[in-house]
Amino acid sequence: MDREEAYKWGDIFSKDWPELARAMALRAEALGLSQETADHVVIWRSDDEEKCRWVFIDNPSDIDTVRALYNDDEHVYSPSCYVVVKQPDPTETRGDVVFDIFRLSPQSLLWHFNRVYTRPATELD
Q: Name the domain count of the chain.
A: 1
Give the model confidence (pLDDT) of 71-104 as tens digits.
999 998 899 999 999 998 888 888 899 999 999 8
Q: Residues 39-68: pLDDT tens digits?
A: 899 999 999 999 999 999 989 899 999 899
Determine the pLDDT at residue 13.
97
From 66, 57, 68, 25, select the one nearest 43 (Cα to Cα): 25
- In the DSSP assignment, the letter for residue 77 is T
With a cut of 90, say whether residue 107 has pLDDT above it: no
What does pTM read for this prediction? 0.89
Task: Give residue 33's domain range.
Answer: 3-124
